[in-house]
């Protein structure tokens, strides 16, 4: 949605310091608010030329923000969120005054945004009725029995901007320098300056490929002999320990299970809606693709898709070391996030 994209971009500029993709995602602290927007429990936090902004608007913005922002509490990011949203309102007001909302392209984007919001709300409404705590627990128990036990490693790293700096650090390590001490002094990773570059345990899927490949190739107690380049800079990695992975806890995995169950619910509902609708499809030149409103062959459901009413197998979920979403799992809007299902 255009509004979310703008908000996410502005939040990224204001809030996100260069974050490591190899850093494990922390559990989201921004939980959906149970208050009714605009009620007494939802105070006004800003008035911009008469336009009112409520606390629930700030909470919604945080839930729609990038993961690096979501992992922080509302209190931590409140000043920047408030400033960002006020800036957005001022720009939108100026845009309306300049009549940019009368531009056909802008009208088209507004319509698309409206469609997405209503579709998201509808998905949330049907998901709330079908995804219960009991079903989530049952799905989790099945996952825990069959979850692949991925290997995990514990590592430290030192991140620097240039290859030469990384080479200099490696030379110091060869001369007996302490890795954690060097990390606190040299790394550009903010957390590494306080914890000596400790990344804790993680699986290969938790890290960017270049970092994961180098870390898992090391033996316990070894460090990389050449700098490891990623999109964030140059790393020197020390392997501290290695262990067999374990299934994630219910709290870690339930959000991904809920996402996948929601995706399955959407698939069944869409099949039902398409069977009752008249849909005419055309190619980019406006020529009819097929007759009778059916989907073109290229868009026909795959044979492996579960029949209507039958739950498809859950996608692979992370091991205990992963805090992020499951590989390939659908990304849902805040309205359909698991935490919102009980509202």
- Residues 24, 200 contacting (CB under 8 angstroms): yes
- Cα(269)–Cα(308) distance, integer angstroms: 9
Angstrom distance (rounded) from CA 32 to CA 55: 12
Torsion 30-36-38-40 (CA) sign: negative
pLDDT in tens, 89-108: 999 999 999 999 999 999 99
pTM, 2 dp: 0.48
Query: How many angstroms separate the CA atoms of 186 and 177, rounded?
Result: 12
Q: Is 202 helix (H, G, I), strand (E, B) or coil?
A: strand
The pLDDT tens digits of the residues spanning 218-277 come to 999 999 999 999 999 999 999 999 998 777 788 988 988 998 999 999 999 999 999 999
CB 205 within 8 A of CB 150: yes
User: Is residue 246 within 8 Å of 317, Cβ to Cβ?
Assistant: no
**pLDDT, position 74:** 79
Hey, where are the domains in the chain?
Answer: 2-102, 133-146+248-340, 151-244
Buried residues in 18-32 as b, exposed as e (16+ CB within 10 A) = ebbebbbbeebebeb
71-99 residues labelled b (16+ CB within 10 A) or e (exposed) = bbebeebbebbbebbbebbeebeeeeeee
> How far does CA 283 lie from the centroid of its chain?
33
Helices 163-174 & 179-186 angle (0-180, nearest 10): 150
What is the assigned CATH class of domain 151-244? Answer: alpha beta
| Span 40-85, pLDDT tens digits | 788 999 999 999 999 999 888 888 888 777 777 778 888 988 999 9
> Which of 115, 132, 153, 163 lies closest to 1 in space, CA to CA?
115
């Amino acid at each position: 949605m255009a509004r979310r994209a703008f908000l996410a971009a502005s939040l990224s500029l204001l809030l996100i310091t260069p974050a490591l993709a190899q850093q494990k995602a922390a559990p989201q602290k921004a939980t959906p608010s149970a208050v009714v927007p605009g009620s007494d429990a939802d105070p006004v936090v800003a008035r911009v030329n008469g336009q009112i902004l409520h606390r629930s608007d700030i909470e919604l913005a945080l839930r729609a923000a990038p993961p690096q922002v979501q992992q922080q509490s509302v209190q931590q990011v409140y000043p920047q969120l408030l400033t960002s949203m006020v800036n957005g309102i001022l720009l939108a007001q100026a845009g309306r005054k300049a009549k940019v909302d009368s531009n056909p392209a802008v009208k088209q984007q507004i319509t698309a945004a409206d469609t997405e919001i209503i579709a998201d709300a509808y998905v949330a409404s049907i998901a709330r009725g079908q995804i219960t705590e009991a079903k989530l627990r049952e799905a989790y128990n099945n996952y825990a029995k069959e979850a692949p036990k991925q290997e995990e490693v514990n590592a430290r790293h030192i991140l620097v901007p240039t290859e030469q700096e990384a080479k200099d650090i490696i030379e110091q390590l060869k001369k007996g320098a302490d890795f954690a001490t060097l990390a606190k002094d040299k790394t550009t990773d903010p957390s590494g300056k306080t914890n000596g570059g400790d990344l804790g345990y993680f699986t290969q899927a938790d890290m960017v490929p270049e970092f994961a490949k180098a870390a898992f190739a090391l033996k316990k107690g070894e460090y990389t002999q050449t700098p490891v380049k990623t999109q964030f800079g140059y790393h020197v990695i020390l392997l501290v320990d290695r262990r067999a992975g374990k299934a994630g806890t219910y709290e870690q995995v339930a959000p991904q299970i809920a996402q996948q169950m929601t995706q399955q619910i959407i698939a069944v509902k869409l099949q039902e809606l398409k069977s009752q609708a008249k849909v005419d499809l055309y190619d980019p030149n406006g020529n009819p693709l097929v007759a009778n409103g059916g989907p073109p062959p290229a868009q026909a459901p795959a044979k492996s898709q579960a029949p209507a009413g039958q739950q498809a197998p859950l996608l692979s979920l992370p091991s205990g070391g992963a805090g992020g979403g499951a590989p390939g799992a659908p990304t849902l809007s805040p309205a359909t996030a698991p935490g919102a299902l009980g509202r």
